């Protein structure tokens, strides 16, 4: 099923890219700017069509996208006929809206996904009860398989399954001791040695019956194994609570994203460490790592609601991170262009105070070396992260 996770991730990523570019496209059109191209991807054109004055298309490398707006900077050559509709000739507030629109769409998408998690799918809630239990199908071969909840054909049935327990059963007593909570059940299981056969009274369909269970041992895991899961439900929030959840979670993820961005330089030395997951490098990943995590979630032995929740949360987090990262005041990111426009307005304001002519647009030719340097650094970071995710991935448990 991991391939399905990858398909879901790639489709969601392309949709996110299209939404980002649509933000630029729609706002530029709204303000009367001339938009000549709207493309998803880079490199050789796979397909395109022209509608009106805009060419729409898909390119071979699905690593982003772009919208080409006439006269984005002072360097661009523009036909005199099109100059009034160029980006650079529009008021600063309109240019800022167009530049911010890409990240804004990422943020809106993230909020919608978080709302769907809380209000549509529901949030997983544990009720600390010995009722409505889930049943594990096997005795995992080792601690890793136990943590990942992975079973193979050679694994023997779990004690609960072998004894005849079924999903939805309620355990009333274990080895003669009454239990009513998940915590209490766990205590008596841990106090019972593996290999011992004990009576377990269950309630099923309003009727009680006694089963005999022989507990098992998983290599590398302390305590005995019965093979049951805690009862969980998915509580759907009402619209107001769902909005509150989306807003608070958005704020938490945004704060975390800013922290992760700040940790990027210090994370590099740990990307290839054996304990990567427990270092700052375990908090950063590339599109390859995000795709792998999505694949792990989709292929995990859990219910569909858990999978959908996790995938939506991954996509929401990714969009928040990308939106925040794109606003960094560094060229060639949108945040760099925003910084240039703000600088132009501040410089113009000071010129008016000094009763001097408006200096006009920033000479972008002077910023090309800086822009190229930042671009090279971003490519370097990206390639290093991809390499680390290929040879030293961080898997969810």
- Rg of the chain over Cα atoms, rounded to whole angstroms, equals 28
Query: How far apart, in Å, are the Cα atoms of 176 and each of 36, 128, 130, 138, 202?
Result: 77, 20, 15, 25, 12
- Please name the helix (run of DSSP H) or strand (run of DSSP E) that holds residue 29, with its range, or none: helix 2-30
DSSP 157-184: BPHHHHHT--TT-EEEEETTEE--SHHH
Alpha carbon distance 135, 156 (integer Å): 14
**Cβ-defined contacts of 204-209 (< 8 Å, 24+):** 204/166, 204/168, 204/169, 204/170, 208/172
Residue numbers annotated as active site:
21
197-204/207-214 β-pairing: antiparallel
Angle CA 306–221–217, to nearest 5: 100
């Amino acid at each position: 099923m991991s391939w399905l996770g990858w398909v879901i991730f790639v489709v969601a990523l392309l949709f996110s890219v299209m939404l980002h570019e649509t933000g630029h496209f729609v706002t530029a059109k709204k303000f009367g700017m001339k938009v000549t191209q709207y493309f998803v991807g880079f490199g050789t054109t796979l397909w395109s069509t022209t509608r009106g004055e805009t060419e729409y298309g898909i390119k071979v490398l699905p690593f982003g996208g772009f919208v080409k707006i006439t006269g984005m900077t002072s360097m661009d050559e523009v036909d005199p006929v099109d100059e009034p509709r160029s980006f650079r000739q529009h008021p600063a507030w309109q240019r800022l809206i167009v530049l911010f629109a890409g990240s804004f769409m990422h943020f809106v998408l993230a909020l919608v996904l978080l709302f769907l998690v809380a209000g549509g799918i529901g949030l997983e809630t544990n009720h600390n009860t010995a009722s409505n239990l889930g049943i594990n199908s096997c005795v995992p071969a080792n601690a890793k398989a136990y943590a990942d909840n992975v079973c193979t054909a050679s694994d023997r049935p779990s004690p609960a399954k072998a004894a005849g327990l079924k999903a939805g059963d309620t355990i009333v007593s274990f080895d003669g001791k009454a239990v009513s909570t998940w915590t209490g059940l766990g205590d008596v299981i841990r106090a019972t040695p593996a290999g011992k056969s004990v009576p377990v009274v269950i309630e099923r369909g309003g009727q009680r019956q006694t089963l005999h269970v022989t507990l098992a041992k998983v290599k590398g895991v302390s305590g005995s194994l019965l093979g049951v899961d805690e009862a969980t439900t998915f509580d759907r929030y009402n619209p107001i609570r769902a909005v509150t959840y989306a807003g608070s979670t958005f704020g938490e993820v945004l704060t975390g994203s800013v922290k992760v961005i700040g940790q990027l330089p210090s994370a590099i030395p740990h990307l290839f460490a054996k304990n990567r997951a427990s270092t700052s490098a375990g908090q950063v990943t590339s599109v390859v790592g995000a795709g792998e995590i999505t694949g792990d979630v989709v292929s995990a032995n859990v219910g569909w609601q858990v999978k959908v929740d996790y995938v939506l949360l991954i996509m929401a987090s990714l969009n928040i991170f990308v939106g925040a990262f794109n606003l960094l005041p560094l060229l060639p990111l949108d945040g760099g262009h925003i910084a240039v426009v703000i600088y132009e307005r501040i410089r113009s304001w000071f010129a008016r105070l000094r009763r001097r002519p408006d200096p006009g647009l920033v000479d972008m030719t002077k910023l090309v070396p800086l822009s190229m340097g930042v671009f090279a650094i971003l490519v370097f970071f990206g390639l290093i992260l991809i390499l680390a995710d290929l040879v030293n991935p961080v898997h969810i448990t």
